Chains A and B, each alone.
Chain A
Amino acid sequence: MSTPAAEHAVGRRDADGVAARARGLTKAYGSGETTVLALDSVDVDIARGRFTAVMGPSGSGKSTLMHCLAGLDTVSAGQVWLGDTEITGLKDRELTRLRRDRIGFMFQSFNLIPTLNAAENITLPMDIAGQKPDQKWLDQVIDTLGLRDRLKHRPAQLSGGQQQRVACARALASRPELIFADEPTGNLDSRAGLEVLGFLREAVDDLGQSVVMVTHDPGAAAHSDVVLFLGDGRIVDEMERPTAEAVLERMRHFSGSRPTAGGASDDVAVDVVLAADSDDAPLGASLDASLDTLDTFDKD
C-alpha cells in the first residue's frame, strides 16, 4: 500500500511535493450572533502523488474543506494554493478554468450528464476546453477501468458502479494535478464500492495521480495513504497507513473525547460545539453503517 512518491509525474516546479495547500483557511456561514464556523483556521498540505482521505463526522467541515480546496467555494479568510497557484481571490472565470484544466472531480451521485454517453462524459472537460485528449493516456485509463465495451452507453444504461467508474475515468482523463472525490462510494453496494476504491488506489500507485477523498466510511478511508481527521472545523488528527480498525477506533475515541476537543476558550468555539452537538445522531448512524460495511468486507 505504500506509495512511491518519486514515481509521479516529473517536471513539476514545487519541490516540496505539495499538490494543494491551505493556510488559516476559515469558512464562516451567517453573520453576527448566528455565525457558524465550518472551517476554523485550517492549515493543511495535500501531498502530491498520494491518496489522502478526509474523515470526520457530519458537520465537521470535511466537505467544506474539499469545496474550498477545489475552488468550488469561496473562503472567509486564509489562503489556498493549488500547486503554486493561489486560488483564493481568483475570479469565477479563472476558477472555472482551473477546475476544468487542473482538477478532477468525483461526486457521491449524479456524476454524469445523462444525455451524453460514457465516452462523451469522460472527455467532457477537455471538450469544454476545446482540447484534444491524449488518446494513448485515454486508452490506458479506459482499459484500466474496464470501460472499453461500455463507451457508447448512456448513464441510464450503466450500473451505479459502472457510472462511478466512468466518473473516475473522467477525473483521470485530463491528467489533473489533483482529483477530489466526495463520498465516491456513498451510493454504491460494497462490491462496487471496493472496485472504485481499488481504481483510485491504482490511479495513485500506477498512474501517479494525487487524490483527495472525503468520506465518513472507515473502510473506505483504509484504502488511503494518509487520513486527516476533521472535527468542529479543525484538523484534529492525522493517520499514516491507516487500517479500517484503527480509523474506526480513532473515530470512536475522537467522538468520545469530543466535548473536550472543542473546549477552546473563545466564544466562537462554543457555538461550534453547540452546532456539532446536534450532529450526534448522524455520526452514530454513520458509524453503524461503517461497521456494517466492514462486516461485508470481511464476508467478501
Chain B
Amino acid sequence: MLKATLRSFLAHKGRLLLSALAVVLSVAFVAGSLIFSDTVTRTFDRLFASTAADVTVSPKNDLKSRVATGATPTLAASLADRLAKVDGVAATHVDVSVENLTIVDRENKSIGPTSGAPTIATNWQVTKRSPVKLTSGHAPHGADEALLDADTAKHKHVAIGDTLTVQAERTFPVRIVGIATFTTTNPGAALLFLDTPTAQTNLLGSRDAATSIAVDAAPGVADAPLKQRIAAQVGTGRYEVKTADEQAKDAAAQLGGFLDVIKYVMLGFAGIAVLVGVFLIVNTFSMLIAQRTRELGLLRALGADRRQVRRSVLTEALLLGLVGSTLGLAAGIGLALGLIRLMSAFGMNLKSTEMVIGWPTPVTSYVVGVGVTFVAAYLPARRAAGVSPMAALSDAEVAGVGRPLRTRALVGSVVGVAGAAALAGCATASKTATSASLLGLGVVLTLIATVIAGPLLVRPVIRVLGGAFPALFGPVGRMSQRNALRNPRRTGATAAALMVGLALVGGMSVASASMSKSFDHQIDKTLGSDFVIQNSNFVPFTREITDKVRATEGAGLVVRQRFTPVAVRLPDGKRVETTAAGYDPRLDDVAHVTYTQGDTAAALGAGRLSMDATFARDHGVRVGSVIPVEFPAERKTELTVGALTDQGGSGGFGMQGGLVFGFGTVEKYVPGGQDSALYVNAAPGTSPDRLRAHLEQTLKPYPQVQVRDQADYKKLVHDQIAVLLYLVYALLGLAIVIAVLGVVNTLALSVVERTREIGLLRAIGLARRQLRRMIRLESVVIAVFGAVLGLALGLVWGVCVQRVLALQGMKSLAIPWTTIVAVVVGSAVVGIVAALLPALRASRMNVLAAIAHE
C-alpha cells in the first residue's frame, strides 16, 4: 500500500507542485520571521551585554508617556564622585546621552537616519565597553569639536573638517575632527560624540548634569551585591540602579517593540499564506481523488479497506507537507537573508554570517507545513475512503459532482445567519468592547458561511456575471460560462481562495477610507489656525524654533502645544497614567474645542484642568472636582476641573481622558520640556500665503519641522493611513499569488478532464485562438466570482468596522468605489493570467490524441 501511495505521489507531482508552493510560502514566512528575529535579538543581546556597565545609576522615570515630551531626565554628575567611594567600585563614568536632537549639515539637511532610528549625541570616553573606536582623526576637545560614526559619515557624505549644527537644548556648531567606527553591530542610529563638558553644557544645559552614571566593579566584585550597596547609598526613591544584565534586558525590551512589528507583519503574511493555501490544498486533493475514483475503487475492490485508502491519501499529504516544509525552511533562510540585507540598507549592519537558526525554527516550520497539509487533506481523504468498490467498474464519472449540496446549504445558512446576527449586533452595540468581540465573531462566521455556501452561489452569481458572455463572445462565451457552472463545488472552492484575500482588502479599504474621511471631518471641525508647525514624526522640537517663529515677519498669534506624562488620582479611586497637553490661553483662535461645560478660559486658567466629558462621567469627575496630579520627577500638585470637553470619543493615541491645561502649568511642573506643535495665524494685513513664505524661510535651518495648513494636514493623515493600506495590499498580493495557483490548478485539471471535448471542438473547427479564449473566459468568470463574493463580504465587514469604531470617533462612512471597481477589474486580469498556461496547454493539444484520449 505504501508503494502504491509513493507511486501515486510521484505520478501527481506536477499537480502537487502548486500545493507544495502554497506550503512553501507559508513555511517560508514563518521560518523567515523566526530566523530574522532570532538573529537580530542575538546580535543586539551581544551588543547590549558588551556595552552595559557593571552597574548603571539613572534618574527614576516613573511616568512613562507614549507621547514624547522632549524633556531629558538628568541627575547630578557629582553623584559619580560619591559612588566612586562605595566599597567594591573600581571607577565611575559620567554618561551624557541625548536622543531628541537634530543635526544638520551646511545645506540645512538632517544627517539623521531616515529609517526612524534615533540620532544620539553622547560624551566621548574610551572604556572597554565602548561599541566604537576612533579610526581616524583625534578625540574631541572643547566646545566646537565632535566625532561622527563612520556609517553616518559615509551615507551623509560628512568628512573630517566639515561643520555641522547641533540643535538640542542649545543650538551650536561643531567641527568634525574624527570618525568613530562600530566594533559591533551598528543598530542604525547616527552617533555624534562630544567631550564631556560640552555634552553636559550644550545637551543638558548644565555643567553638573548627566543622564546616567556608569559604575565599574572592582575585580572579584559581583554586579548584584554591588548594585545593592549602591542602592543603599543613593536610595531608590529618585534613582534607578541596574546591573549589566538588567540594563541589557531593558535595552533589548525597547528594541523588541520594533522587532515585534516586523515579526507580526511576517506572521500576517504567513497567516494569509496558510489560510489561502488550505483552500488550494483541499481543492487539489479533492480533484486528485475525483480523478482517481476508479483507481481508488479498484484498490477497494482488491481488498484495501477504508482506513487503508484514507491513510494512503493522508500519507501523500504528509509527504507533500514534508517536502513543502523543507523547501519552505530553505526559502525562509533566504527570506531572512533578504531581510538582513534590507536592514543593512537602512543602516542596521547585521552580519548574515551570524544568522541564528534555533531549534524552534525547524520544529515550527515542520509543524506548520505538515500540520496545514494534513488538516487540509483530511476531508478529501475521508471522501476517498468513501469511494465504493463499484466505482472501479462504473464509467469514469467524476466523484462529487453529483452529490447534492443540501448539507452545505443547511450548514451554510445556519452559520451565515449566526454571523449576520453577530454583525448586526456589533453595528448596534453601544460598548466598544462588546461590539468588537461581536465583530470578530461575525467576521469569522460569515467567512465560514460564505466558504461553505460558495458552491451554492456559483450558479446564480455566474449566471449573472457570465450572462452577457454568449452575446459578447458567441459560442465560446457560452461554453466558458457553462464550463464554470459545470462543477460548482470546484468552482466555489477555487474562487474561495481569492475571496478570502479580497474580503480582507474590501473590509480594510472601507475602514481606511472611513478613517480618512473621519479625520478630514475632525480636522475641519477642530483646526482653526492658518498653519501648524510640527516635527515630521510629531516629536517635540528645540525651543529655539518657537522663538524664531514668533519673530517671523507677518506671524500674528502663536499658540504652543506641549505634552507631558501625568498620573491623575480620580474621585472613583483609580490612578490613571496618561499624557496631558498644555496650550497657550488663546486656544479658541486656533482650534475649535466643543465644551459641554465651561470654556477655554476656565480650562486653561492657572490651577485649572479640563478633560473629556465621557471620561469624567465614567470616573465621577465634575466641574469643580479637585484632582491630584503627578508630574515626572515626583512633582505633584492639585488641579481643579474647570471645564469638560466633547472630544467625540477620540481619546486614543495614549491620550486617554483628553486632559488639557494651561501652558503655564506644564512649564511650571515640567521644566526643560519642548513644544510639540505651534499653531500660527497670520497677523492682520498679512496674507496666509505671504506668512507661509516667511515661515518657510525662517524654518530653513530646521529640516525636522514642517509648516502645514489644513490641506497639508489632511494629506499627511491620508499618507499615514496609506502606509497601512500598502501593507494590506502586500498581503493581498500574496493571497492573490496563491489564489492564482489555485485557479491554475483547477483549470489545468479541467483541461485534462475535458481532453476529448477539446479534441472534438478542435476537430469540428474551433481555432486554437478561440479555444484559448474559452479557457481564459472561464478563468475570468471564476476569478470575478471570487472577487464579487469577497468584496461583498468585505464591504459588509468594513461597514461593521466603521460602526464599531464610530464609538471611538470614526463617525464617517466612506466606501472607496474606485478601489472596488479596480479590484474587480484586477481580478479579471488575475483570471487571464491564471489561464495563460492551461490555455496554452489546451491549444497545443494534438487533436487526434485528444479524440483518442481515454
**A-to-B contact residues, CB < 8 Å:** 67, 70, 72-73, 92-93, 96-97, 99-101, 105, 107, 110-116, 120, 124-125, 127-130, 170
Q: For the complex, what is the distance from the CA of A292 to the CA of B799, rounded to whole Å?
A: 73
Question: For residues 730 through 778 of chain B, which have their beta carbon under 8 Å from a beta carbon of chain A?
Answer: 756-757, 760-768, 770
With a cutoff of 8 Å between Cβ atoms, the chain B residues found around residue A70 in the complex are 763
28 A-B pairs with C-beta separation under 8 A: A67-B848, A72-B847, A72-B848, A72-B851, A73-B848, A93-B767, A96-B767, A99-B763, A100-B764, A110-B756, A110-B757, A110-B851, A111-B760, A113-B757, A113-B760, A113-B761, A115-B483, A115-B485, A116-B475, A116-B482, A120-B478, A125-B764, A128-B475, A128-B476, A128-B767, A128-B770, A129-B765, A130-B474
Give the residue name and chain of the B residue nearest to A154 (CB). Answer: B482
The answer on a CB contact under 8 Å between A100 and B474 is no
| A101-B765, A105-B763 known; A128+B474 contact, CB < 8 A | yes
B interface secondary structure, majority: helix
Give the residue name and chain of the B residue nearest to A64 (CB). Answer: B848
Q: For the complex, what is the distance from the CA of A115 to the CA of B764, rounded to whole Å?
A: 16
With a cutoff of 8 Å between Cβ atoms, the chain B residues found around residue A114 in the complex are 757
Whether B13 is near chain A, meaning CB under 8 Å from some CB there, is no
**Distance (Å) between the CB of A256 and the closest chain B CB?**
30
Question: For residues 219 through 267 of chain B, which have their beta carbon under 8 Å from a beta carbon of chain A?
Answer: none
Q: For the complex, what is the distance from the CA of A107 to the CA of B850, rounded to whole Å?
A: 12
Q: For the complex, what is the distance from the CA of A93 to the CA of B843, rounded to whole Å?
A: 12
**Distance (Å) between the CB of A230 and the closest chain B CB?**
18
The answer on a CB contact under 8 Å between B766 and A128 is yes
With a cutoff of 8 Å between Cβ atoms, the chain B residues found around residue A99 in the complex are 763-765
Q: For the complex, what is the distance from the CA of A116 to the CA of B766, rounded to whole Å?
A: 15
**Distance (Å) between the CB of A178 and the closest chain B CB?**
13
Give the residue name and chain of the A residue nearest to B757 (CB). Answer: A113
With a cutoff of 8 Å between Cβ atoms, the chain A residues found around residue B7 in the complex are none
A-B contact count (CB 8 A): 70
Question: For residues 453 through 482 of chain B, which have their beta carbon under 8 Å from a beta carbon of chain A?
Answer: 474-476, 478-479, 482
Whether B486 is near chain A, meaning CB under 8 Å from some CB there, is yes
Q: For the complex, what is the distance from the CA of A116 to the CA of B477, rounded to whole Å?
A: 12
**Distance (Å) between the CB of B558 and the closest chain A CB?**
75
With a cutoff of 8 Å between Cβ atoms, the chain B residues found around residue A113 in the complex are 479, 757, 760-761
With a cutoff of 8 Å between Cβ atoms, the chain B residues found around residue A92 in the complex are 768
**Distance (Å) between the CB of B395 and the closest chain A CB?**
11
With a cutoff of 8 Å between Cβ atoms, the chain A residues found around residue B767 in the complex are 93, 96-97, 100, 128
**Distance (Å) between the CB of B755 and the closest chain A CB?**
10
Q: For the complex, what is the distance from the CA of A92 to the CA of B847, rounded to whole Å?
A: 11
Give the residue name and chain of the A residue nearest to B475 (CB). Answer: A127
With a cutoff of 8 Å between Cβ atoms, the chain A residues found around residue B848 in the complex are 67, 72-73
The answer on a CB contact under 8 Å between A115 and B768 is no
The answer on a CB contact under 8 Å between B765 and A107 is no
Q: For the complex, what is the distance from the CA of A130 to the CA of B473, rounded to whole Å?
A: 10
For B, the interface residue count at a CB cutoff of 8 angstroms equals 24
The answer on a CB contact under 8 Å between B475 and A120 is yes
The answer on a CB contact under 8 Å between B486 and A115 is yes
With a cutoff of 8 Å between Cβ atoms, the chain B residues found around residue A97 in the complex are 765, 767
With a cutoff of 8 Å between Cβ atoms, the chain A residues found around residue B479 in the complex are 113, 115-116
With a cutoff of 8 Å between Cβ atoms, the chain A residues found around residue B764 in the complex are 99-100, 105, 124-125, 128, 170
Give the residue name and chain of the A residue nearest to B762 (CB). Answer: A96
Give the residue name and chain of the B residue nearest to A109 (CB). Answer: B756
| A73-B848, A107-B851, A111-B760 known; A128+B765 contact, CB < 8 A | yes
**Distance (Å) between the CB of B723 and the closest chain A CB?**
47
**Distance (Å) between the CB of B156 and the closest chain A CB?**
63
With a cutoff of 8 Å between Cβ atoms, the chain A residues found around residue B757 in the complex are 110, 113-114
The answer on a CB contact under 8 Å between B760 and A107 is yes
Give the residue name and chain of the B residue nearest to A73 (CB). Answer: B848
Q: Which 9 residue pairs spanning A and B have beta carbons closest together? A: A100-B765, A115-B482, A127-B475, A99-B765, A110-B756, A96-B767, A125-B764, A125-B765, A128-B766
Q: For the complex, what is the distance from the CA of A107 to the CA of B848, rounded to whole Å?
A: 12
Q: For the complex, what is the distance from the CA of A110 to the CA of B758, rounded to whole Å?
A: 11
With a cutoff of 8 Å between Cβ atoms, the chain A residues found around residue B760 in the complex are 105, 107, 110-113
**Distance (Å) between the CB of B750 and the closest chain A CB?**
12
Q: For the complex, what is the distance from the CA of A127 to the CA of B761, rounded to whole Å?
A: 12
Q: For the complex, what is the distance from the CA of A23 to the CA of B848, rounded to whole Å?
A: 22
Q: For the complex, what is the distance from the CA of A99 to the CA of B767, rounded to whole Å?
A: 10
Q: For the complex, what is the distance from the CA of A195 to the CA of B615, rounded to whole Å?
A: 90
Q: For the complex, what is the distance from the CA of A223 to the CA of B764, rounded to whole Å?
A: 25
The answer on a CB contact under 8 Å between B766 and A96 is yes
With a cutoff of 8 Å between Cβ atoms, the chain A residues found around residue B766 in the complex are 96, 100, 128
| A67-B848, A72-B847, A107-B760 known; A124+B486 contact, CB < 8 A | no
In the complex, which of the residues A70, A115, A120 has the most CB atoms of chain B within 10 Å of its own CB atom? A115
Q: For the complex, what is the distance from the CA of A275 to the CA of B467, rounded to whole Å?
A: 53
Q: For the complex, what is the distance from the CA of A224 to the CA of B228, rounded to whole Å?
A: 114
Q: For the complex, what is the distance from the CA of A97 to the CA of B762, rounded to whole Å?
A: 10
Give the residue name and chain of the B residue nearest to A123 (CB). Answer: B475
With a cutoff of 8 Å between Cβ atoms, the chain A residues found around residue B762 in the complex are 96
**Distance (Å) between the CB of A118 and the closest chain B CB?**
14
Q: For the complex, what is the distance from the CA of A172 to the CA of B545, rounded to whole Å?
A: 92
With a cutoff of 8 Å between Cβ atoms, the chain B residues found around residue A105 in the complex are 760, 763-764
**Distance (Å) between the CB of A166 and the closest chain B CB?**
13
With a cutoff of 8 Å between Cβ atoms, the chain B residues found around residue A101 in the complex are 765
With a cutoff of 8 Å between Cβ atoms, the chain A residues found around residue B768 in the complex are 92-93, 96
Q: For the complex, what is the distance from the CA of A73 to the CA of B759, rounded to whole Å?
A: 12
Q: For the complex, what is the distance from the CA of A97 to the CA of B47, rounded to whole Å?
A: 75
**Distance (Å) between the CB of A172 and the closest chain B CB?**
13
The answer on a CB contact under 8 Å between B478 and A96 is no
With a cutoff of 8 Å between Cβ atoms, the chain B residues found around residue A100 in the complex are 764-767
The answer on a CB contact under 8 Å between A127 and B474 is yes
Q: For the complex, what is the distance from the CA of A108 to the CA of B760, rounded to whole Å?
A: 11
**Distance (Å) between the CB of B186 and the closest chain A CB?**
63
With a cutoff of 8 Å between Cβ atoms, the chain B residues found around residue A96 in the complex are 762, 765-768
With a cutoff of 8 Å between Cβ atoms, the chain B residues found around residue A128 in the complex are 474-476, 764-767, 770
With a cutoff of 8 Å between Cβ atoms, the chain A residues found around residue B756 in the complex are 110
Q: For the complex, what is the distance from the CA of A105 to the CA of B482, rounded to whole Å?
A: 23
Question: For residues 406 through 435 of chain B, which have their beta carbon under 8 Å from a beta carbon of chain A?
Answer: none
Q: For the complex, what is the distance from the CA of A200 to the CA of B98, rounded to whole Å?
A: 99
**Distance (Å) between the CB of A112 and the closest chain B CB?**
8
Give the residue name and chain of the A residue nearest to B476 (CB). Answer: A128
With a cutoff of 8 Å between Cβ atoms, the chain B residues found around residue A110 in the complex are 756-757, 760, 851
Residue-wise interface mask of B (378-408) relative to A, using a CB-CB cutoff of 8 A (1 in contact, 0 not)? 0000000000000000000000000000000
Give the residue name and chain of the B residue nearest to A182 (CB). Answer: B851
Q: For the complex, what is the distance from the CA of A125 to the CA of B767, rounded to whole Å?
A: 11
Residue-wise interface mask of B (818-854) relative to A, using a CB-CB cutoff of 8 A (1 in contact, 0 not)? 0000000000000000000000000000011001000
With a cutoff of 8 Å between Cβ atoms, the chain A residues found around residue B770 in the complex are 128
Q: For the complex, what is the distance from the CA of A70 to the CA of B851, rounded to whole Å?
A: 14
The listed residue (B475, B485, B847, B851) touching A124 by CB distance below 8 A is B475
With a cutoff of 8 Å between Cβ atoms, the chain A residues found around residue B763 in the complex are 70, 72, 99, 105, 107
Give the residue name and chain of the B residue nearest to A110 (CB). Answer: B756
In the complex, which of the residues B760, B763, B847, B848 has the most CB atoms of chain A within 10 Å of its own CB atom? B763
Question: For residues 766 through 805 of chain B, which have their beta carbon under 8 Å from a beta carbon of chain A?
Answer: 766-768, 770
**Distance (Å) between the CB of A182 and the closest chain B CB?**
8
Q: For the complex, what is the distance from the CA of A141 to the CA of B145, rounded to whole Å?
A: 103
With a cutoff of 8 Å between Cβ atoms, the chain B residues found around residue A67 in the complex are 848
Give the residue name and chain of the A residue nearest to B486 (CB). Answer: A115
With a cutoff of 8 Å between Cβ atoms, the chain B residues found around residue A111 in the complex are 760
With a cutoff of 8 Å between Cβ atoms, the chain A residues found around residue B474 in the complex are 127-128, 130
Q: For the complex, what is the distance from the CA of A128 to the CA of B475, rounded to whole Å?
A: 6
Q: For the complex, what is the distance from the CA of A240 to the CA of B482, rounded to whole Å?
A: 46
**Distance (Å) between the CB of A152 and the closest chain B CB?**
14
With a cutoff of 8 Å between Cβ atoms, the chain A residues found around residue B475 in the complex are 116, 120, 124, 127-128
Q: For the complex, what is the distance from the CA of A28 to the CA of B648, rounded to whole Å?
A: 86
With a cutoff of 8 Å between Cβ atoms, the chain A residues found around residue B761 in the complex are 113
In the complex, which of the residues B486, B847, B848 has the most CB atoms of chain A within 10 Å of its own CB atom? B847
Give the residue name and chain of the B residue nearest to A129 (CB). Answer: B765
Give the residue name and chain of the B residue nearest to A98 (CB). Answer: B765
With a cutoff of 8 Å between Cβ atoms, the chain B residues found around residue A130 in the complex are 474
